[in-house]
Structure 1
Amino acid sequence: MSKDDKKIIPAIVHKVRWVSCGSKKFKSYIDYIDRDEATRNYNFDDFSLYNDYMGNPEKSGSLFTEKNDYMTKKEIKELKKNFELAQKNKSMMWQDVFSFNNDWLIENGYFNPKTKVLDEAKIRNAIRKSMGELTKDGNENELIWSASIHYNTKHIHVHVASVELKPNKENLKKDFRERGKRKMKVIKTMKSKFINDLRNRDEFYKELDVLVRDNMVGSKKEYSFMKDRILREKMLDMLRHLPKDKREWNYERIKEAKPYVDSLSKYYVENFCRDDFQRFKKMIIEDKKEQLKIYGTPKDLSKLSELHYKEADLYRRMGNTIIKELKDFVKEEEYKNKRLQYLKEKKKYKKKSYRSKKENEKKNKINLADNKKNYDIKMDREINKPFEEKKANNNEFKKEDNNLKNENNNDILDDKKSSDNKLSSLNLLNSKFESKYKNENKSMRFNLAIAMNNVKRAIRNDLEHYINMLEFEKMERQKEYESGLEI
């Protein structure tokens, strides 16, 4: 919108003003609470804070409150007492006014210009939604309010007066100008609640949500960016500007990368969701015109070029979907790289382990051969030990036999010599006796030799039996050893 364009006056205006407990306007409002509509209408200037904003109404409706559409005399009397109590407790009195451009009411079917009938029920509900914003978090000060609808030719408006039955003690210490101020956020929300309830755009926004959530963002969840070259390039550009910490990968946090994300989102919806995006843009333009008509031309004209909040919602949803897809992709690639590195290390370790295994097997074979050789040597020693002992025993036997023979010979010689000496002393030595003695000695030696041979034969038999037993045990141990190797 250029400076030369005609300024659009808002169709709905909301204003708020306030007075202290000592104000005449406060007292006048209380005085006229229980008067009839005509009297209040005629004396409207006495209690209204908007004399400079609007003149006396042509007609005033009955009072209504948070719970009552129409009030009995008893209920009006109770309401008046509450306002008097609030004034006594030094409460401020706030006056909100919601003013309409009657043409807008006619266009939206709330006012019939011929019959002069207004859909008051709808207006009352909208007022309650708006005033409920003041007490939605629980108001310990017990805010109460009353309102009435006033009719004018050009501007039908709703006049709302509110007080606190139990004002905050800390606020009582403040200047009344400070005590009456409302936060700008609360004022904007009150107006937004009032307007949205009258606009009845629920179905309109539901359709926009379906286009965004289900059709466009939903289709992106099913379509991989890897399928399109430009999408891949834009995704890589975005990746270069994302923070290193993946926990920060959220659309609301990535200020540097946000233009790249939006560019990717725009490319996707323009090329892959063309029909839905065209329908979406058409509805956004329609809604912007409607909002401009209701809110009027903003003081800051740059706001006209700002994204519609549903457009911002589209880019936010699409951006988070894209970021999630990229995060999953990066995570998968990192896993693949780690897996590949792991397999390489495993293969390297496996080769090293295989070589080490072969070397160990070779060493084991050598050790086994050495052990077998040592075992065989040991077994041979065990087996040959009896033979060596036998040989040693034979040598001992021979030595003992020789010693025995020598001893026998010596004994025989000694005996012979002794006998010869005796015979010689007796003069009995003759050749005949000597021959007989020799024959007897020869027979004696023969018998001794036979006895020795019998002893040797018995020893040899025992030794051979012992050797056979050792050889059998050796064969059994060898068999057990070979069976152990096979296992």
Structure 2
Amino acid sequence: MIRMVIRLNTTPHEALKALNVYAVNANRQELIQYGIRTNDWQPYYAFEAQKTPAYFDLVDGKYEYNKTFWGNQIENTLKNMKEKLADNWGNEEKRAEIEADMKALMDSAVWSAAIHYNTDNLHVHIATVEPIPTRVKKWTKNLETGKWEVQVRAKRKQGSLDKMKSKVANLIMDRTKERNLVTDLIRGSVNLKKEKGIDLSTHRQTKKLFRKALQRLPSDRSQWRYGYQSIDEARMYIDQIVDIYLDRYYKNEMKDLHRLLDEEVEVMREKYGEGSKYQNYKQTKLDDLKKRMGKCGFN
């Protein structure tokens, strides 16, 4: 059952118009969902072509975006922006704003989004299209005809999708302050050692470990980098030295770091869901800490 609330002070004509708009939008959403499920967008294109015929061409019985129309739209908009840019050349702030808009337009992506409230998690479906394709072309097999055709690469890499989601999520939930605290704690471990002049090679607990690490390091000192494979045999002893240092000189700060990392992991779980790689965040940051301390130990 679909329930709509219409203002009581509307005229019959306005009420009918509201119902028509609702019906059109509902139909559009159904066609979009059908396209997502079946990868057949022709019903949706046909529906949109009835509303905005200038946006589409009928080619061999199939609707396609009218590249001439969209190309002219982009060119005309760019022309107007260039004129506006010339008029505001002396205004640095306004000029930067116009140049940013021009760059966004030059990327030529057109997008549409729908907010869905029909689950316990509010979410948004976003569809993008290039009226004038700029992406790399490659040979692709047409599953309907069995023939190989040159087509524009359409599928985005998973890494690109993850970056898009991360960008949106970070804009919605700004965690810059908390992330900066994590970074400061990681860098602070190195700064403390430098400021206090702690020599781990002569420290009672780490002296033997330091000798064992040196015995397993390559003769070429340029290879003494924590992330290099050439120090794999020595890395175990270096990590033990780092652990002893952190426990002796940076114990309270490490407790704060683990607490902050656990909080960030929980926030990321809520943002990205169980299927994401949110749990890797903490280990990645701890690995970064060891890498920095390992490098500091070499110096």
Superposition TM-score, scaled by structure 1 size: 0.39
Partner residue in 2 for 1:44: 29
Note closer, same or farther for the CA distance 1:150–1:297 as it changes in structure 2 (3 Å cut): closer
User: What is the root-mean-square deviation of aligned Cα atoms in Å?
Assistant: 3.7
Partner residue in 1 for 2:234: 257
Q: Does 1:195 align with 2:169?
A: yes
Note closer, same or farther for the CA distance 1:142–1:309 as it changes in structure 2 (3 Å cut): same
Instruction: Assess if the C-alpha contact under 8 Å between 2:108 and 2:130 holds in 1.
Output: yes
Partner residue in 1 for 2:155: 181
Partner residue in 1 for 2:183: 209
1:213 CA displacement: 0.8
Partner residue in 1 for 2:82: none
- Give the 3-state SS of the residue equivalent to 1:257 in structure 2: helix
Instruction: Tell me which structure has the larger Cα radius of gyration.
Output: 1
Partner residue in 2 for 1:116: none
Equivalent AA in structure 1 for residue 263 of structure 2? E
1:280 CA displacement: 1.0
Partner residue in 2 for 1:284: 261
Partner residue in 2 for 1:237: 212
Partner residue in 1 for 2:65: 87
Partner residue in 1 for 2:123: 157
Unaligned runs of 5+ in 2: 1-19, 39-51, 58-63, 69-102, 144-150
- Give the 3-state SS of the residue equivalent to 1:200 in structure 2: coil
Matched residues in 2 for 1:198 and 1:206: separation? 18
- Give the 3-state SS of the residue equivalent to 1:224 in structure 2: coil
Note closer, same or farther for the CA distance 1:226–1:242 as it changes in structure 2 (3 Å cut): closer
1:49 CA displacement: 4.7
1:158 CA displacement: 1.3
Of structures 1 and 2, the one with the larger relative CO (CA 8 A, separation 6+) is: 1
Note closer, same or farther for the CA distance 1:313–1:38 as it changes in structure 2 (3 Å cut): farther
The within-5 A match list for 1:394-409 is: none
Matched residues in 2 for 1:226 and 1:173: separation? 59
Unaligned runs of 5+ in 1: 1-34, 54-79, 91-136, 325-487
Note closer, same or farther for the CA distance 1:51–1:186 as it changes in structure 2 (3 Å cut): closer
1:182 CA displacement: 1.5
Matched residues in 2 for 1:82 and 1:210: separation? 55
1:304 CA displacement: 5.2
Matched residues in 1 for 2:226 and 2:283: separation? 17
Matched residues in 2 for 1:139 and 1:233: separation? 62
Matched residues in 1 for 2:209 and 2:170: separation? 39
Q: Deviations over 1:220-266 (max 9, x none)?
A: 22312145212222222221222221111112213333222222111
More helix by share: 1
Matched residues in 2 for 1:147 and 1:141: separation? 18
Matched residues in 2 for 1:319 and 1:201: separation? 28
Matched residues in 2 for 1:236 and 1:44: separation? 68
